[in-house]
Amino acid sequence: MADLTPNQQKIVGRYYDNFESIKIQKLSELATEIYLAEGKKQDRLWKQVGEILVALKVPQAQADHVVAQKNPAILPGIAQELGRKLGK
């Protein structure tokens, strides 16, 4: 990997400082996208939901359960609960 300039290091650092918040926001956005999507695109978006939940350290079984339900109405509640756990 190439050496990063000090400015680039700050940008990367801020990204990782806000990683959880970014993922929680994306989870909320996916709820809307899933409502509007159909077919294979909807399946791909649900896969992203599962990946985000695992990245946020939600137990795999719980993430699988959410994805298996395929109910986009529960995603904003999950995002809100995860945000509360982070204190944001």
Q: Residues 10-38: pLDDT tens digits?
A: 999 999 999 999 999 999 999 999 999 99
Distance separating alpha carbons of residues 73 and 57, to the nearest angstrom: 21
Distance separating alpha carbons of residues 33 and 73, to the nearest angstrom: 12
Q: Considering only 10-19, 58-67, 78-87, which range has the smallest mean pLDDT?
A: 78-87
Three-class HEC string of 40-83: HHHHHHHHHHHHHHHHCCCCHHHHHHHHHHCCHHHHHHHHHHHH
* 22-59 b/e (C-beta count within 10 Å ≥ 16 → b): ebbeebeebbebbeebeeeebeebbeebbebbeebebe
Tokens of 77: 């509640």
Query: pLDDT over 70 for what percent of the chain?
Result: 98
Q: What is the pLDDT of residue 79?
A: 92
